[in-house]
Amino acid sequence: MTRMSASSGARSADVTVVGGGAIGTCVAAELARRGASVVLLERGPELASGCSAGNAGIVGASHVTPLANPGALRDGIRWMARSDSPFFVRPRPRVLPWLLRFAAASTPQRTRRHTAVLRELATHSAALHARLAAAGLNAGYTQRGLLNVYKSERALAAALDELARNGGRQRVATDSLPDDLASSLTPIAGAIFDPDEAHCDPHGFVRAVGAMAREQGVDVRTGAEVLEVRRRGRRIDSLWTTAGEFRVGEVVLAAGVWTAALARRAGLRLPLEGGKGYHVDVEARPGDPQMPIWLHENRVVITPLDDRLRIAGTLELTGTDNDVDARRVDAIVGAARRAMPELGSRRPLNVWRGLRPCTPDGLPVIGRVPKLDNAIVAAGHGMWGLQLAPLTGQLVGDIAVGDESEHDLHPLRPERFTLRHRPGRPTRVTAARAPDTDRLRDERAVGSARRPTHGPGVNA
């Protein structure tokens, strides 16, 4: 990368990361760890102003499956007329092309292939979460497992069938549950325990990684919305924002659902659809479950956090509409109260919603923007942004400096959605796609010398 000199008052850096959620902060911290000067631009008033602040906080690979799968397609059609269903599509002309791609990606063969990709990434990223926590990242990381609860014998039988095929989980007989948990749950058909799952506070994770990035020299700018992407030939020359102009070396587009508009200005069309999710936090009480509980039929997760209990769920394809639908809030709270009646007396602390960036095939988009020499996309993680954030930081770092990745990035390439694109042989990241990287690679030693020694890197 070539260090850009400031001109006409514009700020400059080796890398400008657009987006201050879990993905953007991990990318910024990793690039700074590798020796780059980094500016992080977040459109909101603080880091994690978007969907990164409010998910269920699960960290693990057992439930990481692509949104596009036969079950989701079947349920989506069945639930389309129910505005309080776990998965709802708001009918509108602009969503039709996305839905057609979604249906095409929901075949059993493609689902198996994409599930393997996601779980391989999620397994590696979960290990990075654990290493970050061990190195001192304060995000409430706890590994106590995840309890999957099934109300119906049919749902339990289907889950046990999947367990027999894939392994990795343990069945827990209903009468073997801890006494406090068994007494708090309404009668169920059975449960499955995932012992390797962990959880953390999503907002706390982004704040902690953001603080780590600042310690490593990242210039974090909040309230900086990108208004225009200014190009010159095959390069993005600068970004015009509400905080002024920023000249750029490399640009990483990691702005969640808003990445689609930014990529379009850079000449790339990404079919990102906003998948609205909700959570309601209620006051914590002694005797609360110490592990997350996943209510399978309702697609609702109850997660214990430090001082509250989080009830999270639903996926509503609404584009960029961020309004609160009271019916959907009532649906997830109602599901939790039916499973744990004692929650009915809890005082709600806050109601939250956020737009998850969803691709029609359920895989994230990570790679260089075609026809541009200095732009990388890291978006479209859907429900798995928190889970995949540490590894995404490493992958973008490899792409930026031209290192070969140990992961196959071919299924994640940005150009896979273009009509003219024809799938080719899987390729690894090579230096040929990343010009001007010698100086950054040489500066790694300089970067490590100038960083605080107590601040862990993303892959510490």
Q: What is the tens place of the pLDDT at every residue in 168-193? A: 666 676 667 777 777 788 888 888 88
Taking 80 as the threshold, does the pLDDT of residue 419 lie above it?
Answer: no
SS3 of 367, please?
strand
| Phi and psi angles of residue 171, each rounded to the nearest 5 degrees, phi first | -80, 140
Separation CA 43–CA 102 (nearest Å): 29
Q: Residue 409: what residue type?
A: L
244 with 11: CB under 8 angstroms? yes
Rounded mean pLDDT, 359-384: 96
The b/e string for 20-54 (b: 16+ C-beta within 10 A; e otherwise) is bbbbbbbbbbbbbbbbbbbbbbbbbeebbbbbbbb
Q: Residue 142: what residue type?
A: T
Cα 265 off chain centre by: 23
The pLDDT value recorded for residue 94 is 85
- With left for phi above 0 and alpha for psi between -120 and 50, is residue 145 left, alpha or beta? left
Percent of the chain with pLDDT over 90: 62
The pLDDT value recorded for residue 89 is 80
Please write the tens of the pLDDT for every residue from 143-162.
Answer: 999 999 999 999 888 888 87
Q: CA-based angle 423:318:413, to the nearest 5?
A: 20
Separation CA 276–CA 54 (nearest Å): 11
Strand-pair partners of 163? none
The pLDDT value recorded for residue 53 is 86
- The residues, ordered by sequence, that sit 6+ positions from 263 with a Cβ below 8 Å of its Cβ are 253, 269, 270, 369, 377, 379, 414
What average pLDDT is seen over the chain? 86
Angle between helical axes of 108-134 and 96-105 (0-180°, round to 10): 90
Rounded mean pLDDT, 241-257: 96
Task: Read off the pLDDT band of 118 (50, 70, 90).
Answer: very high
- The residues, ordered by sequence, that sit 6+ positions from 445 with a Cβ below 8 Å of its Cβ are 35
Separation CA 122–CA 64 (nearest Å): 7
What CATH number has the domain spanning 1-69+106-141+198-271+362-460?
A: 3.50.50.60
Helices (H), 135-201: 153-166, 179-184
The pLDDT value recorded for residue 368 is 96
The pLDDT value recorded for residue 445 is 37
Please write the tens of the pLDDT for every residue from 313-354.
Answer: 988 888 888 899 899 899 999 999 999 999 988 989 999 999
Question: Out of 67-71, 130-134, 351-355, 425-429, which region has the weakest mean confidence (pLDDT)?
Answer: 425-429
Taking 50 as the threshold, does the pLDDT of residue 459 lie above it?
Answer: no
Cα 215 off chain centre by: 23
32 with 459: CB under 8 angstroms? no
161 with 203: CB under 8 angstroms? no
Where are the domains positioned within the chain?
1-69+106-141+198-271+362-460
The more confident residue out of 176 and 419 is 176
- The residues, ordered by sequence, that sit 6+ positions from 120 with a Cβ below 8 Å of its Cβ are 407
The pLDDT value recorded for residue 308 is 94
88 with 80: CB under 8 angstroms? yes
Kindly report the number of other CB atoms within 10 A of residue 243's CB atom. Answer: 16
Max avg pLDDT among 126-130, 194-198, 266-270: 126-130
Q: Residue 208: what residue type?
A: A
Rounded mean pLDDT, 93-111: 92
| Parallel/antiparallel/unpaired status of strands 273-283 and 293-295 | unpaired
- The pair of structure tokens assigned to 38 is 């980094």
Please write the tens of the pLDDT for every residue from 276-285.
Answer: 999 999 999 9
Task: Read off the pLDDT band of 63 (50, 70, 90).
Answer: confident
Q: Residue 383: what residue type?
A: M
Rounded mean pLDDT, 30-38: 96
Task: Read off the pLDDT band of 242 (50, 70, 90).
Answer: very high
Separation CA 213–CA 447 (nearest Å): 13
26 with 32: CB under 8 angstroms? no
Question: pTM score, two decimals?
Answer: 0.88
Taking 50 as the threshold, does the pLDDT of residue 452 lie above it?
Answer: no
- Shortest CA distance to 385 belongs to which of 231, 257, 216? 257
Question: Out of 77-86, 142-151, 167-176, 205-214, which region has the weakest mean confidence (pLDDT)?
Answer: 167-176
Percent of the chain with pLDDT over 70: 86
Rounded mean pLDDT, 14-39: 97
Separation CA 163–CA 171 (nearest Å): 9
Task: Read off the pLDDT band of 10 (50, 70, 90).
Answer: low
Rounded mean pLDDT, 359-388: 96
